[in-house]
């Protein structure tokens, strides 16, 4: 008997923010990230019959999402040389060890420059996070970086879901303004 069941009627409410945040880190374009998440939901609907119930709904959707991200990079890089590149996922049991066969001209050409840029970006993000009020920063980090679900955060801080989304919106707005000023 399957341990987990699918309920596509709740996918958007339960998973869209998590899937979007997961995707935006990997594709760095809001519109493309939205499209990929939408494609993930459609693919999930089309392949519901293949769901065996061995994983949670969220884990199953993330596995579909990863394939959609890989497809995105294969599509945009189809005319370049071929190499195997490791995607920088969060180090959790669901994503650790995922590989992407991606077509790139030279995976080592800008390696040092990219590392410096990534370090600088990380510092800019941490700097902007440190400027947020403590509660706002913690909630923002839990939701967008650590991927905690809404219910867990609401219970921990004794707030409503509406209040959570106001806090997240304000944090995103402040982070965007700070990053615009200090990074871009």
Total-model pTM: 0.44
CA distance 16 to 5: 18
Placement of tokens 């879901």 in the chain: 161
H helix and E strand count, the chain: 7, 2
Q: Enumerate residues 6+ apart whose C-beta is below 8 A from 169.
A: none
CA distance 171 to 47: 36
**Ramachandran assignment for 148, one of left (phi > 0), alpha (psi -120 to 50 degrees), beta (any other):** beta
Q: What is the pLDDT of residues 35-94, one digit of tens each?
A: 999 999 999 999 888 888 888 888 889 889 988 988 888 887 765 544 444 444 444 444
Of 86-90, 123-127, 156-160, 169-173, the poorest mean pLDDT is in 86-90
């Amino acid at each position: 008997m399957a341990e987990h069941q699918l309920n596509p009627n709740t996918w958007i409410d339960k998973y869209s923010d998590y899937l979007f945040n997961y995707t935006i880190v990997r594709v760095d374009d809001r519109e493309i990230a939205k499209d990929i998440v939408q494609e993930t939901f459609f693919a999930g609907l089309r392949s519901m019959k293949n769901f065996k119930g061995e994983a949670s709904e969220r884990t199953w959707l993330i596995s579909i999402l990863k394939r959609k991200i890989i497809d995105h990079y294969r599509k945009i890089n189809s005319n370049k040389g071929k190499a195997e590149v490791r995607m920088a996922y969060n180090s959790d049991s669901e994503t650790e060890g995922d590989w992407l066969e991606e077509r790139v001209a030279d995976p080592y050409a800008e390696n040092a420059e990219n590392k410096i840029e990534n370090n600088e970006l990380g510092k800019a993000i941490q700097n902007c996070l440190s400027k947020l009020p403590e509660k706002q920063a913690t909630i923002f980090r839990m939701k967008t970086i650590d991927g905690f679900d809404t219910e867990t955060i609401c219970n921990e801080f004794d707030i409503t879901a509406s209040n959570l989304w106001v806090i997240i919106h304000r944090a995103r707005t402040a982070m965007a303004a700070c990053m615009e000023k200090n990074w871009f």
